[in-house]
């Protein structure tokens, strides 16, 4: 399969997992909190391990080859924390009530909405999910394009992360419109911003892709993934009340990622 098409399909798969979260919100009576706690921990484990063990060092290898040990290592570290800063700023400027990374459960759909905030919640949630998913889509695409062997578990981890996010988007959209159908459509469509991030990477960055740009992007991707794991996935997993299940999921995710990397040596 064409590498670019493969990267796009994986990004599309990861992004549209928000639709699964939307379906869970409307067809499940309660949230399977134990499963979600393990799954979110697993997703965090995959992303932390692959970022720190594989992606960071691939970026450093590329940058050191171009700029030498000292300067190349400095660029790698700065790019890594630059990725963290980017996603942190995105979270910073999105109001907490509309931030799709704020945890919601299926049971929340029965909560009485505040009528005066319905439209605001609907509009800002749509904007928030688009802003959040764009850099995630770029990160998934770049990873899939440059390292196909680790792309599938990374895409699965992003998809798991997007399922509760889909629930978080569906609920306020439902409050805003009164329609479960519209809430599902908006949630499903919001996931399309991930392949839009991939499209940006392909159209804007690919023509200029060099070893230096690749290294900077890859190190930034590692930073984004680590931040998402520490700031969103693990806290969300803990909030369900299953601390040990969260850690078991985290370790399992790391082990699965380690095994998948060993198989391709």
**pLDDT digits over 170-181, tens only?**
776 676 677 778
How many domains would you assign to the chain?
1
Phi/psi zone of residue 104: left (φ > 0), alpha (ψ -120 to 50 degrees), beta? beta
pLDDT range class, residue 160, cuts 50, 70, 90: confident
DSSP structural state of residue 240: T
pLDDT at 60 > cutoff 60: yes
Output the pLDDT for position 15: 85
pLDDT at 115 > cutoff 50: no
Output the pLDDT for position 172: 65
For the chain, give the mean pLDDT.
78
* Rounded CA separation 245/34 (Å): 7
Output the pLDDT for position 82: 95
Per-residue buried b or exposed e for 199-208, using 16+ beta carbons within 10 Å of the residue's own CB: ebbbeeeeee
Output the pLDDT for position 109: 47
Q: State the residue range of the domain holding 165.
A: 3-263
Lowest mean pLDDT among 14-18, 19-23, 215-219: 19-23
CA distances from 71 to 67, 158, 240 (A): 6, 32, 44
pTM: 0.69
Q: Which two tokens stand for residue 92?
A: 């910073």
pLDDT at 262 > cutoff 50: yes
* Rounded CA separation 170/150 (Å): 31
Q: What is the pLDDT of residues 214-224, one digit of tens each?
A: 889 889 988 98
């Amino acid at each position: 399969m064409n590498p670019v098409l493969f990267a796009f399909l994986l990004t599309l798969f990861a992004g549209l997992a928000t639709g699964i979260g939307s379906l869970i919100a409307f067809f499940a009576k309660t949230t399977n909190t134990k499963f979600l706690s393990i799954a979110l921990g697993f997703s965090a484990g995959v992303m932390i391990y692959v970022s720190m063990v594989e992606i960071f060092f691939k970026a450093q290898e590329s940058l050191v080859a171009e700029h030498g040990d000292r300067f190349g290592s400095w660029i790698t570290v700065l790019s890594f924390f630059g990725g963290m800063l980017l996603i942190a700023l995105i979270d910073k400027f999105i109001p907490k009530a509309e931030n799709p990374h704020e945890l919601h459960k299926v049971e929340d759909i029965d909560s009485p909405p505040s009528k005066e905030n319905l439209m605001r919640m609907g509009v800002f949630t749509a904007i928030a999910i688009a802003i959040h998913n764009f850099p995630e889509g770029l990160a998934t695409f770049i990873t899939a394009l440059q390292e196909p062997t680790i792309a599938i578990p990374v895409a699965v981890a992003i998809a798991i992360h997007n399922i509760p996010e889909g629930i978080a988007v569906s609920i306020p959209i439902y409050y805003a419109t009164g329609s479960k159908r519209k809430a599902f459509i908006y949630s499903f469509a919001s996931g399309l911003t991930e392949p839009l991030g991939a499209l940006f990477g392909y159209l804007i960055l690919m023509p200029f892709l060099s070893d230096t740009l690749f290294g900077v992007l890859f190190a930034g991707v590692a930073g984004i993934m680590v931040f998402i794991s520490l700031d969103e996935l693990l806290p969300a997993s803990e909030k369900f009340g299953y601390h040990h299940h969260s850690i078991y999921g985290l370790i399992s995710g790391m082990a699965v990622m380690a095994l998948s990397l060993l198989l391709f040596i």
